[in-house]
Structure 1
Amino acid sequence: MGAVDRSDMMLSSVDCTRKCLKWYKKLFLHSINITLLNAHAMFSTRHTKKTSFANFHLAVIAQLLERYGIVKSIHCDLGNARLQNRHFPVSVPRKPGSTKVGSRRCWVCSHTKQKQAKRKESSYMCPECDVGLCVVPCFKIYHTEATF
């Protein structure tokens, strides 16, 4: 198998391009993936510990998010900050120029593994985690249990 076929095979496991993206966005994401593939190859030559490209890819993403402090976008799961810090519910703010009460989808109700997930709107949220949550019982469940 040639080097191009092998690199295409490895990149296909972590492909993040979508059909609806513009060509220049696809080109940018592909260049990032090629850069990560080259970094994985360099890492593999230096270290005896074998890691898959997908795990290396996720580790790089986690380290970048940790370094630049973008914790809110991944729902406070990095380092279990949602389980260690104190959080308080607040009302979801109204959209500018709207008379309707603000609402968000409850994270626990829509991502539960213990029962059937359902779409439930809530007018409360956790501002630190930036997720919508029902006040009772989902807010407590989200901030005290690792899996729900």
Structure 2
Amino acid sequence: MDNAKHKLVMLWRFSVLLLLVLNLLLACQNQSAIRSLHQASEATAESVEVREAAAQSVLTGRVVKVSDGDSITLLDMNHKQHRVRLSQIDAPEQKQPFSRVAKEALADLIATKEVRLQIEGKDRYQRLLAEVFIGDTNVNLYMVRQGYA
């Protein structure tokens, strides 16, 4: 009889342990599901912002700052500033060779001038991604053809 009681107690302990492990696994799975839902909602919100910016598609204004060879700040007609990254190009960043040359070339072409943006969306820093035009000149293409980007 002692042996039967011992087996019953061991079976009961094993069952309790098994239930605890299963609860732990379910809790971890729920946390993972919650994280996935949160990430999905963030991605949806971000894609809505990108679509809203793209729906605007064209923006005009005056260049008030040239940050480097592929980044500017634009002041629109409502006196709102927009940080802009020239799309489809990559100029040297500050502290990289030729960064000053690329920045000066872009500044010489568009600083303080009226430009038109063809907006494609936003980047991870929430800057507008756009093709920039001064008159009929595609500034992005100009920077590449001249070797600055």
TM-score of the pair, normalised by structure 1: 0.28
Structure with more contact order per residue of length (Cα contacts < 8 Å, sep ≥ 6): 2
> Larger strand proportion, structure 1 or 2?
2
Given the two structures, how large is their TM-score scaled by the length of structure 2? Answer: 0.27
Q: Which has the larger Rg?
A: 2
